[in-house]
Structure 1
Amino acid sequence: MYIDVGGNICIAIRTIVAVFDLDSITASAKNKTGDFLHLAAENARLITVEAESLPQSLILTTQTAYLSPYSSKKIRERLLRWRY
């Protein structure tokens, strides 16, 4: 099964490792998250789903990280819908 993460991009559910809410990242974790995003971008492993939209969530898969304009709550709801 696949879910839409915005920008007409669908990813396989089985490849999703974690979904993070970018607004709720604590100040102490922002540096580490920023370092991760920088490293992923350098290695062409970061995809900004919709460049014109502000990203709300980070979806980490086994191969790639996606910055999605959808909230982590919306992504979670879509994942749960396919689980049952």
Structure 2
Amino acid sequence: PWPDVKRIYNDLSWCVEKCASATWCKGHKYLVDDVFLEIHRTYFSLCGNVQDPPLLHLIMLIAPAIVATLLIPFLCIHVTTLNE
């Protein structure tokens, strides 16, 4: 869902920027920053709590790529020697 969130985020950014500059708010860049910091505090409070996946999940994701990398050369050699 990141493209949807990004679109909403960009729309909100544009809206806050337009409102701040339309009202001739001095230092409106700070207002925009404050608005987005408050949004992050409210809706993305767990954003900094990202953790590494458990070791078993990591191994299950990485192992097939490693095994395939090691087996493909042997498979290629086997197939080419069959045709001879």
Fold in common (TM above 0.5): no
Q: Which has the higher strand share?
A: 1
- Greater fraction of residues in helix: 2
TM-score by length of 1: 0.27
